[in-house]
Every structure is written in structure tokens, then in C-alpha cells.
Amino acid sequence: MAELHAPAGATRKKRIKGRGPGSGNGKTSGKGHKGQNARSGGGVRPGFEGGQMPLYRRIARRGFSNYPFKKIALPVHTGELETAFADGEVVNMDSLVEKRLIRKNVKLVKILAKGELKKKLTIEGLPVSSGARTMIEAAGGAISSTE
């Protein structure tokens, strides 16, 4: 029952500071000689930059930014569709995950015109750039219910 033990090197001896010169951390206990950081209660507050105007005060705090709510679409190129899909197949979020062109946690995808597309594909429920649209339609494909 008592056969469990930590692997070699997993447990280390506790670091003991301020216990004489033989400990390697004696005398000043790793704080150096004198100075602000050697004193009890010494050191500077978080965000202090030595008297320079700190970052949190340099940044403007007025107005509203929509940046946190920005939606970023992952690009999928027409050349990738050409290599991954067979002629006549349907391209949607599920099929892109299945063909490993995107990961399953990706929420938004946009099809862009890069590379050649000669296969007739049907795009379902995905945004498509104007260049990709002309390329898909020129190959005989169709685009339905673009989000």
C-alpha cells in the first residue's frame, strides 16, 4: 500500500534564508546591502516606474472602444478548398472541421480568393469575399444563405 513515492528530483529541500554564511543565503538574505528593497516594508508599489509617469496614467481613459467585441473571421482560401474537397461537395462549418481546415472551437470563418478553384462546390452558411464569389461561380459552384 505504501509504495507511492515522488519521482527522483521532484522534491527539493526547503530554501532557508538568513541562517549564516554557510547557507548561501545568510547575512543579507539575498537582499544585497542597504537600499530601499533591503529595508523592512521596503520596495515600491505595483505600477511604480521610478517617478516616470506610469503606464496606467499615460493611457487615455476617455470614450468607448468597441475593440473587445470585435469579431475576427478566420480566413479559408479557395486553394485550400480545392485540395481538401471533392467535386460537388458541400462546404460548411462542419465539413471544414471534418477536413481539418479549421478547429472545432472556431466560431467565424470567411472564404477568401487565394489560389485556384476548378471544382464545383456548394458553400452553405459562410461569408464569402467578392473575389471568392466570382471564382466559385465561375467554377460552376453555388453560394447559399451567406451570413
What is the reported pTM?
A: 0.56
Domains of the chain, with CATH numbers?
Answer: 73-144 (3.100.10.10)
The pLDDT tens digits of the residues spanning 104-147 come to: 999 999 999 999 999 999 999 999 999 999 999 999 999 986 55
Closest by CA position to 74, among listed 125, 123, 111, 124: 111
> How long, in residues, is the chain?
147
The pLDDT tens digits of the residues spanning 43-60 come to: 999 999 999 999 999 988
Query: If you average pLDDT over every residue of the chain, what do you get?
Result: 91
pLDDT at 23: 82
CA distance 96 to 116: 18
